[in-house]
Amino acid sequence: MLAQRTLKSITTAVGVGLHSGQRVELTLRPAQPDTGIVFRRVDLPEPVDIPVTAQSVSDTRMASTIANGAAKVHTVEHLMSACAGLGIDNLYVDISAEEVPILDGSAASFVFLLQSAGIELQRAPRRFIRVTQPVEVREGEGANLKWARLAPYHGFKLSFEIEFHHPAVDSTGQRVEFDMSSDSYARDIARARTFGFTKDVEMMRANGLALGGGLDNAIVMDDYKVLNSDGLRYDDEFVKHKILDAMGDLYIVGKPLLAAYSAFRSGHAMNNQLLRELLAHPECYEIVSFDDERKAPKGFAQPLRAW
Ligand SMILES: [Zn+2]
């Protein structure tokens, strides 16, 4: 049987929120089979659980925010991406503020935390959402066109294209593909950092956003170049971060997808629309599990790859 996974032990991290600039403590704890990923705001007078589901997404302006009533957690996508990449099904995320710490702006620190805690196989079948018919969302035209799509595929692969006309981005890749069956999430995707422009950062700060952002947790560019003294981690780090984000955004659906995702200039909002479109069309997907691990797509059945 292809089994669900949780952590073997508890692990903790401390950092600051990208947008709030607030100090925040995060504790990742093992959870029972079929719990899913549940954020718990432990700083509120009464702790509030916020289970991660496509419907719990309440805001996607700068990052993916989930909510249960008035209790919120912002910027869940990089941690969710690490969980998707390592195949963690069940997890409690105790959090002491309303934003996940940005750490180094990638998912690498979350991968490290999850791997250090150890991954435990559980006595319950891992359930997947297998896409059986294509689903697509589309918006705008010409220079404003963007779209995202899920199509049937025995496995999980993503292809993303951006269109950023900037000297630092033009000279690197605008398009990248990642396939769970042949590539390594930890090696190829997890280290890609979020990115921003100095002029946008100034505007965001004026609106009370990006208060915790800087050169140690983002790629920062002016009109001509990357300002980080140590340069890029991957030649195509920009578009790889979009794959990282998309994996986190899609994992919010609550189960791993068996599908080919492709997108052009999509973002958190459109990725969430795509999930809602999928869920609105039950004829386009089915829930499957694998009694015989050998029938599972490559990359899901194998032991986890190390760095
Ligand atoms: Zn991101």
Q: From CA 174, how far away is CA 51, in angstroms rounded? A: 34
* Three-state DSSP state, 123: strand
Strand segments, DSSP code E, in 187-272 are 195-197, 219-221, 257-264
Vertex 55: Cα angle to 50 and 61 (nearest 5):
90
Spacing, Cα 228 to ligand 1 middle (Å): 17
Q: Print pLDDT tens along the chain (307 aa).
A: 999 999 999 999 999 988 888 899 999 999 999 999 999 999 999 999 999 988 778 777 667 889 999 999 999 999 999 999 999 999 999 999 999 999 999 999 999 999 999 999 999 999 999 999 999 999 999 889 999 999 999 999 999 999 888 888 877 778 999 999 999 999 999 999 998 888 887 888 888 877 888 888 999 999 889 999 999 999 899 999 999 999 999 999 999 999 999 999 999 999 999 999 999 999 999 999 999 988 999 888 655 544 4
Q: Tell me the residues surrounding ligand 1 (ion) with CB < 5 Å.
A: 194, 245
pLDDT, residue 156, reads 97
Please give, one letter per residue, the 3-state secondary structure of 167-198: HHHHCCCCEEEEECCCCCHHHHCCCCCCEEEH
pTM of the model: 0.94
Residue 222 dihedral angles phi and psi, to the nearest 5°: -95, -160
Catalytic residue among 154, 166, 268, 281: 268
**268 part of the active site:** yes
Write the single-letter amino acid at 181: S
Q: From CA 135, how far away is CA 90, in angstroms rounded? A: 27
